[in-house]
Amino acid sequence: MKIYDNSEFGIHVRMQNFLKLLKKVDNEIYDRFETQKLKPEFYAFRWLTLLLSQEFYLPDVLRLWDSLFADQERNFEFLLYICCAMVVYVDSLIETLLFFQFLVHFVLQTST
Amino acid sequence: MFCFVRSRLCPDLNFFQSKTDYPCSELFNQEDGFENLHKRIASTSLKVEIQPENSRFSSRSNRIRPSSDMFTRDNEYEILADGCEAHWEVVERILFVYSKLNSGQSYVQGMNEIIGPIYYTFANDPNQQWRGSRKTTNQSNDLFVLFRFRTRRSGHVLLFYKSNDSYSR
C-alpha cells in the first residue's frame, strides 16, 4: 500500500502541492515554516485526509463539503486553497499573540 | 472560524446516538439471536461502571463518570428498545461492509469522519421520501454506494492507503 503514497493522488504529493500553493500565496509564511522546519505533515495531515471535517462544526462542514465535492474533477484542489487560507488566517492571529507576549514582557521588565 | 479545541460532540454528534427511523429489519428477524454491537457495548460499559465502586480510585473515577444532567439525559450508550437502532449502528455497518469488500484497504482511522457528514445529510433529507423509502435498508444501500463512489472516483481513497501506513507504526 505504501506505493500509493508517492503516486499522483498520494498524500505526499498532496502535501507538496499544498506547500507550493502556500509559497505562492504567502512566501513569508512559507519561508518561516522552512526555517523552522515545520513540515505540513505536522499540521495539514488531518486537514487533507479528513477533508477538514474535524476542524469545523458540522453545519460548516456540510457547507464546505458542498463546495469540495463540486470540485471533485480536480482532485480536491479547492481543499488546498482552503487550507492555505486557514494558515494565513491563523498566522495573523499568531502575530497578534506574539505581540501581546512581547507587550507583557515589556511591561514586566520596565515595571521592575 | 475553525476550532482548535475540538468540542463538537454536543450537539453535532449527538445525532448519531439517536434512534434511526429505518433500522435494518433483517438483522432483528434472525433466529440465531444476533447480538448487535449496541448490546455488546452496553454490557461492557456496565462492567466498567460497576468496577470503580470497589476500587481504591473510586473518588477519582466518580469525578470522571458522567454524572451531570447533560450526560445522564443523553446517555452515550443508552439501550434502545428491541428492534431499534441508533444512527451510529447504521454507520458502523456500512463501514464494516466496506472494509470487508475492500480487504486490501480495510478500515482506516478517519473513515468515520468522512462518512459521518455524508450520512447526516442523507438522514436529514428535507424530503421524507428520500430518507429511506420503500425498503428499510435502502438508505444504507444508497449511502454505501455513494461512499464507495466518492472514495474511488476522487482518488481520495489513496490518501487512506497512506494514512494506513503511517498510523500502523
With an 8 Å Cβ cutoff, is A93 touching chain B? Answer: no
Which of B2, B160, B166 lies nearest to residue A55, judging by beta carbons?
B2
In this predicted complex, what is the ipTM? 0.72
pLDDT at B160: 46
pLDDT one-digit tens code per residue, B137-167: 445 555 555 555 455 444 454 444 433 333 3
pLDDT tens profile A6-29? 666 677 788 888 999 999 998 888
Stretch (H or E) spanning B84: none
pLDDT digits (tens, 9 = 90+) for B38-97: 666 666 655 555 555 444 544 444 444 444 444 444 455 556 666 677 778 777 877 787
User: Searching chain B, which residue's CA lies closest to the CA of residue A4?
Assistant: B158
Answer whether B113 touches A (CB < 8 Å).
Answer: yes
Q: In angstroms, rounded to a whole number, what is the distance separating the alpha carbons of residues B23 and B60?
A: 39
Residues in chain A with pLDDT values less than 50: none
Query: Closest chain A residue to B104 measured between Cα atoms?
Result: A1
Residue A1: what pLDDT? 54
pLDDT computed for residue B110 by the predictor: 73
Q: Measuring CA to CA, which residue among B114, B34, B99 is closest to residue A61?
A: B114
Give B169's DSSP letter.
Answer: -
Cα B57 versus chain centre, distance: 31
Query: The cell 441508533 sits on which residue?
Result: B86
**pLDDT more than 90, % of chain A:** 6
Query: Which among A4, A45, A54 has the least Cβ separation from residue B158?
Result: A4
For A48, the closest chain B residue by CA position comes to B159
Cα end-to-end span (Å), chain A: 61
pLDDT exceeds 60 at position B119: yes
Whether residue A21 lies within 8 A of chain B, CB to CB, comes out as no
Instruction: Tell me the C-alpha to C-alpha distance, in Å, between residue A88 and each of A31, B121, B137.
Output: 13, 30, 45
| Mutation for testing the A interface, residue in B15, B158, B166 having most A CBs under 10 Å | B158
The answer to whether the Cα torsion of B112, A75, A77, A42 is positive or negative is positive
CB contact (8 A) between residue B121 and residue A4: no
Closest among A3, A76, A17, A105 to B151, alpha carbons compared:
A76
Chain B from 81 to 110: CB within 8 A of any A CB: 104-105, 110
The answer to whether A51 touches A45, Cβ cutoff 8 Å, is no
pTM of the model: 0.65
